């Protein structure tokens, strides 16, 4: 065994969307960080669809960006096509989505990582996390190298015990042709005592554009004008770039018939897969089974890159055997003569119960161990990235003996996401929707910077050079909110913000003013009880008078604040009242002891 003589603050295991953000964030906050990945050439790989953003997901990307993360900037760099979703609806639900060149995306991200001070990147596979009485103390790799570290962030994606399914053919893999991480999975469940669950997700086939009949598709051109997804991208420069189009077609009755005749041959329905798949983002066989009355489902052709003819077929995710997949493609208008380049498949993987995590994403079971991304039962690059940046920040803060950084539900979709995960747990892959946010009117695409950048500056996640421009922008927004006709002039030192952005924001704010205030008021009430911490040594589940069901739930979740306790399904308002009194009583008794 080779023992690396450097002692790391943070070791990130996994170089996907969560791991990359986590590594960048930890290093940015000054933590000596190591990113371990099995394969440097698949770092930040977009394993499924070639787009970043989407409804509620686009807002998360904006939030990551405002917190100083890289996802938004990398996306704009790799952008092939912009589409603002929901523009037919109110601006509170406008959500940016960007088609990306997959290769450009991953290499750009790799470059970002390489340039980041305090961050080492190493191609190797973690197989064992070593612990002492105080928690995590090192990571052992497949090459038998030992890295000493004060904390570990697990961002294993679909690689823990990953199994690929195409029809009845099963192969080990975290992604097609990429080896799974089986030793680490055993280590986590057998030695560290994490509660692992098994989830499933899938991806559609890719086809060659040669042979497509575009006359049968509906064209979806890139937005013009466009809005970059990163706050730091120059809107007008970005506008000058060339963009590609996407295309829309539909499944047919023939597609339907093929699927029905072959249900038993799919991995999902043939009996090979027993784990929970997502209700949303379902496979096409799922859709036919659950919604037999819908005879035509939309399919979206999305380019995989600028230097390839491959298209991703959004909506055609499947685990059918190869012959069926070929027949399915031939049944779609415009694709009759298309050839498949890669088969669709389902992947099963281990994830860990997120209810075993504190809201700052550290494990309650193993101190110093943080988890982010699919290992927490989520799906989606954006959800992964959002957790990644939070885990990275919190691992660094922990090593520096600082207070954890937790976002509230009224501050960010990321706050909603993590609070849901750690408070309610998951029984299927979790994806974000705007309907999950009670404060939807507050959590908008246009105000992510105003919501989160103050935090980012405080933490040191954003460089101070942006501060004067941000403050100027904030003042400008306030002025315009109060008086839309206030005389304003564009100033060069406002960049990357602009008067135009401020006007856009102020217009939207005014549209929602009454609702904004109402949401804010509700949120303040929440903040009030969220500020009541459940003191160390106080076990809420033992409080007399609490309903039995509630005390079971309280024991399971171990809420950190009274607010978190109140969001546990089944806990009643009376339970919370009772807890409030007992917490106060506990505090006073303790103080009384101290003075005595």
Partner 1 sequence: MQSTICALASGQGGAVALVRLSGPRALDLLKSLTHKDGAFAPRQQVFCTIYDGGNILDKALVTYFQAPHSFTGEDVVEFAVHGSSYITGRLLELLCQAGATPAQRGEFSQRAFLNGKMDLVEAQGLCDLIAAGNKSAHQLAMHSLDGKLSARLNEMKTKLAELLAQIEVRLDDVDEEMQPLSPDFIRQEISAVLTHIQTLTDTFSVGRLIKDGLKVAIVGAPNSGKSSLLNALVGFDRAIVTDICGTTRDTVEETLEVNGQKIILTDTAGIRAHALDVAEQEGMRRSLRAMEQADVILFVLDAARPLSAEEKQLWNDIEKAHKRTLVILNKCDKPGAVSTVDLPHIADYKQLSVSCKKNIGLDEIKTILTAPMNNAPTDGLMLSNLRHYEALLRAQTELESTLIRLKNHAGGEIQAEHLRGALKYLKDLLGEITPDDILGIIFSKFCMGK
274: which 2 tokens?
């027993």
Quote the CA–CA distance of 364 and 367 in Å, as a whole number: 6
Using only C-alpha atoms, the chain has a radius of gyration, in whole angstroms, of 25
Q: Fill in the DSSP letter of residue 345.
A: E
The least CB distance from residue 95 to partner 1, in Å, is 9
Residue nearer to partner 1 on the CB measure, 97 or 455: 97
The least CB distance from residue 93 to partner 1, in Å, is 5
Residue nearer to partner 1 on the CB measure, 440 or 451: 440
Residue nearer to partner 1 on the CB measure, 63 or 419: 419
Which strand (E) or helix (H) includes residue 79? strand 79-85
The least CB distance from residue 112 to partner 1, in Å, is 27
Residue nearer to partner 1 on the CB measure, 146 or 263: 263
Nearest to 284 by CA among 326, 248, 336, 328: 328
The least CB distance from residue 587 to partner 1, in Å, is 11
Nearest to 501 by CA among 477, 472, 482, 485: 477
Residue nearer to partner 1 on the CB measure, 93 or 258: 93
The least CB distance from residue 447 to partner 1, in Å, is 14
User: For the stretch 338-362, what's the b/e string if a residue is b when 16 or more beta carbons lie within 10 angstroms of its beta carbon?
Assistant: bebeebbbbbbbbbbbbbbbbbbbb
378: left (phi over 0), alpha (psi -120 to 50) or beta: beta
Residue nearer to partner 1 on the CB measure, 193 or 569: 569
Residue nearer to partner 1 on the CB measure, 271 or 298: 298
The least CB distance from residue 573 to partner 1, in Å, is 7
Displacement of CA 288 from its chain's centroid (Å): 28
Sheet of strand 51-53: strand arrangement: 51-53, 95-100, 79-85
What residues does 347 pair with on adjacent strands? Answer: 164, 201
The least CB distance from residue 100 to partner 1, in Å, is 16
Quote the CA–CA distance of 197 and 202 in Å, as a whole number: 17
The least CB distance from residue 223 to partner 1, in Å, is 13
- Distant-in-sequence, close-in-space partners of 281: CB < 8 Å, separation ≥ 6: 201, 317, 379, 429, 431
Q: Which residues bind partner 1 (CB under 8 A)?
A: 49, 54-56, 85-86, 88-90, 92-93, 279-282, 287, 290-291, 294, 297-298, 300, 314-315, 317, 424, 433-438, 440-441, 515, 518, 521, 524, 543-547, 569-570, 572-575, 577-578, 580-582, 584-585, 588-589
Residue nearer to partner 1 on the CB measure, 16 or 315: 315
The least CB distance from residue 24 to partner 1, in Å, is 27
Residue nearer to partner 1 on the CB measure, 49 or 230: 49
How many Cβ atoms sit within 10 Å of the Cβ of residue 595?
Answer: 6
The least CB distance from residue 411 to partner 1, in Å, is 17
How many Cβ atoms sit within 10 Å of the Cβ of residue 225?
Answer: 10
Quote the CA–CA distance of 396 and 312 in Å, as a whole number: 38
Residue nearer to partner 1 on the CB measure, 14 or 204: 204
8 Å CB contact between 434 and 553: no
The least CB distance from residue 585 to partner 1, in Å, is 5
8 Å CB contact between 328 and 320: yes
Name the CA dihedral angle for 67, 69, 71, 73, rounded to a multiple of 10 degrees: 90
Residue nearer to partner 1 on the CB measure, 297 or 326: 297
Q: What is the DSSP string of 198-240?
A: EEEEEE--EEESTT--GGGSEEEPPPSS---SSTTS-HHHHHT
- Distant-in-sequence, close-in-space partners of 436: CB < 8 Å, separation ≥ 6: 56, 416, 417, 420
Quote the CA–CA distance of 442 and 439 in Å, as a whole number: 5
Residue nearer to partner 1 on the CB measure, 282 or 359: 282
The least CB distance from residue 564 to partner 1, in Å, is 14
The least CB distance from residue 279 to partner 1, in Å, is 4
Residue nearer to partner 1 on the CB measure, 27 or 421: 421
8 Å CB contact between 554 and 546: yes
């Amino acid at each position: 065994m080779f023992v690396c003589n450097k002692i790391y603050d943070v070791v990130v295991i996994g170089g996907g969307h969560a791991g990359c953000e986590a590594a960048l964030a930890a290093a940015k906050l000054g933590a000596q960080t190591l990113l371990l990945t099995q394969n440097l050439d698949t770092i930040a790989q977009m394993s499924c669809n070639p787009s970043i953003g989407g409804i509620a997901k686009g807002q998360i990307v904006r939030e990551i960006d405002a917190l100083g993360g890289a996802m938004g900037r990398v996306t704009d760099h790799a952008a092939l096509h912009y589409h603002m979703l929901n523009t037919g609806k109110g601006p509170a639900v406008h959500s940016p989505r960007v088609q990306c060149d997959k290769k450009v995306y991953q290499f750009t991200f790799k470059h970002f990582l390489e340039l980041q001070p305090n961050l080492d990147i190493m191609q190797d596979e973690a197989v064992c996390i070593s612990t002492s009485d105080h928690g995590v103390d090192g990571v052992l790799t497949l090459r038998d190298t030992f890295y000493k570290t004060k904390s570990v962030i697990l961002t294993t994606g679909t690689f823990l015990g990953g199994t690929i399914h195409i029809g009845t053919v099963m192969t080990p893999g975290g992604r097609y042709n990429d080896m799974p991480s089986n030793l680490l999975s055993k280590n986590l469940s057998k030695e560290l005592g994490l509660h692992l669950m098994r989830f499933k997700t899938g991806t559609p086939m890719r086809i060659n554009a040669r042979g497509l009949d575009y006359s049968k598709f509906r064209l979806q051109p890139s937005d013009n004008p466009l809005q970059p997804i990163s706050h730091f991208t120059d809107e007008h420069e970005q506008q000058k770039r060339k963009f590609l189009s996407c295309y829309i077609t539909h499944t047919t009755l023939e597609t339907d018939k093929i699927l029905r005749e072959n249900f038993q041959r799919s991995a999902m329905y043939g009996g090979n897969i027993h784990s929970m798949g997502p209700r949303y983002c379902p496979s096409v066989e799922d859709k036919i089974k659950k919604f037999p009355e819908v005879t035509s489902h939309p399919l979206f052709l999305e380019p995989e890159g600028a230097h390839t003819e491959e298209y991703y077929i959004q909506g055609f995710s499947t685990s059918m055997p190869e012959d069926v997949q070929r027949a399915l493609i031939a049944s779609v208008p415009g694709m009759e003569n298309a050839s498949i380049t890669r088969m669709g498949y389902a992947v099963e993987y281990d994830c860990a119960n997120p209810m075993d995590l504190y809201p700052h994403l550290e494990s309650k079971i193993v101190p110093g161990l943080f988890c982010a991304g699919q290992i927490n039962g989520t799906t989606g690059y954006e959800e992964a990235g959002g957790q990644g940046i939070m885990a990275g920040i919190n691992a660094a803060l922990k090593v520096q003996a600082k207070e954890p950084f937790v976002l509230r539900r009224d501050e960010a979709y990321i706050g909603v996401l993590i609070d849901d995960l750690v408070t309610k747990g998951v029984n299927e892959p979790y994806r974000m929707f705007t309907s999950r946010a009670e404060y939807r009117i507050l959590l908008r695409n246009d105000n992510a910077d105003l919501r989160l950048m103050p935090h980012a500056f405080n933490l040191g996640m954003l460089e101070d050079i942006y501060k004067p421009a941000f403050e100027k922008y904030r003042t400008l927004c306030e002025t315009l909110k109060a008086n839309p006709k206030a005389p304003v002039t564009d100033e060069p030192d406002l960049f990357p913000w602009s008067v135009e952005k401020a006007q856009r924001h102020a217009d939207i704010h005014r549209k929602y003013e009454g609702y904004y205030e109402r949401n804010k008021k509700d949120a303040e009430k929440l903040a009030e009880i969220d500020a009541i911490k459940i003191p160390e040594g106080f076990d809420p589940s033992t409080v007399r008078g609490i309903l039995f069901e509630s005390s079971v739930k309280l024991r399971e979740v171990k809420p950190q604040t009274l607010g978190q306790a109140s969001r546990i399904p089944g806990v009643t308002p009376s339970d919370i009242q009772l807890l409030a009194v007992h917490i106060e009583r506990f505090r006073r008794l303790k103080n009384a002891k101290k003075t005595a």
